[in-house]
Amino acid sequence: MTPTAKLKMGLDEYLEFDKNSEERWEYFDGEVFCMSGVSRAHAIIESNTALELIAKSRQEGCQVFPASMKIKVPVLPTYRYPDLSVSCGTAEFIQIGGVDCLTNPRLIVEVLSASTESYDRGAKFTEYKSIPSFSEYLLISSTVISVVLHQKHHDRFWLQSEYTSGESFHLNTLDLDVAVDDLYRGVDLTPHTT
């Protein structure tokens, strides 16, 4: 997601604002960021990734959630909007400000944009680690063919693997092998001039 606007408000005001908004907003330390508006490449990568995950998720007893599904982050008083998330078994929810928030994602997917990449790789990943069920974090660049997969081993150790065109990776959550090129099908990463 690309943050396109920033506002200041209190937590209760934010919860009511986000619940009634047609756009997605994230709250951090009194500031509210609009998470709407993505590039064409971002949208296609997100759709391709969802297609790869959905068929296999049904076989594994899991469910794929789109970017509109909020994720409750235990270390925060609020929630985050990942691009995709996967919960296995029974999906569990909590209501925050009258809004359903998923509490047990296993896999979280973020499609990186220039404006959110450092946050998604850093602070947001740290926040997500407070979710007990969370065990895989898939980061997909929307500007170059590059995929990073973080997989949890034991309680605190995360293994990071990087992939590019012509390579595949394995998602333990779904017991699924994914070809990097399938995530970028139909994506034009050629720089365009105006």
Query: What does the pLDDT read at residue 6?
Result: 58
Helix, strand, or coil here: 62?
strand
Query: What does the pLDDT read at residue 35?
Result: 65
Helix (H) or strand (E) holding 33: strand 31-34
pTM for the whole thing? 0.85
* d(C-alpha 130, C-alpha 29), whole Å: 18
pLDDT along the chain (194 residues), means of 10: 59 77 70 74 97 94 95 90 96 91 98 87 93 98 97 92 98 98 95 61
Helix (H) or strand (E) holding 177: strand 176-179
Domains of the chain are 39-183 (3.90.1570.10)
**86 closest CA partner among 112, 59, 115, 124:** 59
Query: What does the pLDDT read at residue 1?
Result: 41
Query: What does the pLDDT read at residue 4?
Result: 47
